[in-house]
Structure 1
Amino acid sequence: MKKVIMMLLGVFLFIHAGSISTEASEKPDYEKYGKIAIAVVQADYPENEVTDYEYKGRKTVAKNFVEDGFKFLVATKGTEFNVIVTVQHDLRNKKLLSLKVTEQK
């Protein structure tokens, strides 16, 4: 339960921190969701080291809805595995729709 609360708090903070930035310094929207993905992986694997991160690209899901994929390499006790984070969001209102974490060993 504590893990879920921390993850939701992190997502909330990143979403609102991104909305504070000015238009002139606006970064690509996938960067905002990449920061959210990083926070989620760090919350889900607090004892492990995230050793690599890659933006896998964007897919169109429906009109104005897209899915960004992120791949993380996580190391634990001499072994490594991938964690895939998929973030669906609305391009019109820049709102997060869903976030899915999948572990690949």
Structure 2
Amino acid sequence: MLRKILIGCCFSLLLSPTIFFLNDSPVTTAETEKPVPEYAKWGKLAMEETKKRYPSAEIVDYQHVGRYKKNGMYVERFKLWLKKDNREFGVFVNITFEPDTERVKNITVVETDR
């Protein structure tokens, strides 16, 4: 009888989702996954536009500065840090779009040394 209880406990522990591992990785659930931020698609567009304007530069850092409303439009603002040869510099990218349709109206890229 004791043997059956021990075997049952061992199987329970092995099948427990809190300690069960596949390929040395813990099992993940939807609750542990981070949600994709709202600005992610705009950040991708900011990086694509920067690459068009600076094709030989490497993007070494990226920051979402924020979103604000201006004249009924939304503006997503990003700062990217680039490296080209021995020079490092930043660019601010502003993406202006319609809030309802998300249609892009304007993209500006301005260099900064900070």
- Shorter-chain TM-score: what band? 0.5 to 0.7
**Secondary structure in 1 aligned to 2:94?**
strand
Please name the residue that 1:49 is paired with: 58
- Supply the AA of the counterpart residue of 1:37: A
Query: Which sections of structure 2, spanning at least 5 residues, go unmatched?
Result: 1-35
Task: Quote how far apart the aligned CAs of 1:28 are.
Answer: 4.5
Letter in 2 for 1:73: W
The match for 2:31 is: none
Aligned to 1:94: 102
Map 1:1-105 → 2, pairs under 5 A: 28-63=37-72, 65-105=73-113
TM-superposed deviation, 1:68: 0.7
- C-alpha deviation, 1:98, in angstroms: 0.7
TM-score of the pair, normalised by structure 2: 0.63
For 2:39, what is the secondary structure of its paired residue? helix
* Aligned-pair CA distance for 1:78: 1.9
Which one has the bigger helix percentage?
1
C-alpha distance in 2 between matches for 1:95 and 1:49: 28
* Structure with larger Rg: 2
Query: How many residue pairs get matched?
Result: 79
User: How far apart are residue 30 of structure 1 and its match?
Assistant: 2.1
Q: CA deviation at 1:45?
A: 1.2
* Cα RMSD, aligned residues only: 1.7
What amino acid is the match of 1:95?
R
